[in-house]
């Protein structure tokens, strides 16, 4: 979610303006410990960014979208 300061959200909005379906499977996952890492979540880019994207996609109600979201307790990025 960090790339391009929200570029994924701009791309999704552009796609949604001209498409009624997104016939793909998307798997989103994050480790809960990433939420407490100021370098990762301090700018709202890992756990909250993933949650935001999942919410945006869900509200589109794309008939062909298979969205899977997982929050893994005790996981963070390797050091």
For 40-64, the pLDDT digits (tens) are 665 567 788 899 999 999 999 999 9
State the DSSP H helix or E strand holding residue 26, giving kind and residue range, or none if neither: strand 25-31
The yes-or-no verdict on residue 24 having pLDDT over 90 is: yes
Contacts for 1-6 with beta carbons within 8 Å, 24 or more apart? 1/45, 1/46, 1/49, 1/50, 1/52, 1/53, 2/43, 2/45, 2/46, 2/49
In angstroms, rounded to a whole number, what is the distance separating the alpha carbons of residues 37 and 50?
15
What is the pTM for the complete model shown? 0.80
Q: Which position has the higher pLDDT, 75 or 21?
A: 21
Quick one: DSSP state of residue 20? S
Instruction: Enumerate the domain spans of the chain.
Output: 3-72
Confidence of residue 10 (pLDDT cuts 50, 70, 90): very high
């Amino acid at each position: 979610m960090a790339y391009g300061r929200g570029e994924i959200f701009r791309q999704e909005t552009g796609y949604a303006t001209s498409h009624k379906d997104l016939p793909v499977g998307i798997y989103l996952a994050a480790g809960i410990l990433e939420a407490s890492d100021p370098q990762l979540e301090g700018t709202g880019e890992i756990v909250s960014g993933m949650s935001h994207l999942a919410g945006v996609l869900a509200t589109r109600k794309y008939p062909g979208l298979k969205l899977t979201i997982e929050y893994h307790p005790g996981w963070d990025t390797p050091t």
